[in-house]
Amino acid sequence: MNLTKNTDTNHLVPTEFYLCQNYPNPFNEKTIIKFCVAYKTKVKLEVFNSEGKMIKTLLDEEKEAGTYEVNWNIKNLPKGDYFYQLKAGNFISRKKLTIIK
């Protein structure tokens, strides 16, 4: 993940899109998913079950360039492996997460 310093606001601004591994993983009740957006664009973050069926949209909105995190508190999902996917502009990345109970 590359970051550059924005001299106007003294903040770090990503130079590329990136999807981080959720933390903690595996998890029981809640997890955090971080991602970077390189430029202003529509961002969609979704969760899929192991069969590929979309079960939850965590985010679906336009975002400015920056680093973001989504806190996800699971409800009524059985233990097992799931996947989360970030779509931002032409960038698509998918990672695996595991729910334990």
| Prior bond of 26 cis (ω within 30°) | yes
User: For residue 73, what are its two tokens?
Assistant: 């508190």
pLDDT at 14: 83
31: number of Cβ within 10 Å: 21
Query: What letter does residue 89 receive in the DSSP assignment?
Result: T
- For 51-69, the pLDDT digits (tens) are 999 999 999 999 999 999 9
Tell me the domains of the chain and their CATH numbers.
Answer: 3-99 (2.60.40.1930)
Name the pTM for this structure: 0.85
For residue 38, what pLDDT band results from cuts at 50, 70 and 90?
A: very high
pLDDT at 81: 96
Which whole number is the average pLDDT over 36-55? Answer: 96
**Distance, C-alpha 19 to centroid of its chain:** 6
- For 72-85, the pLDDT digits (tens) are 998 888 999 999 99
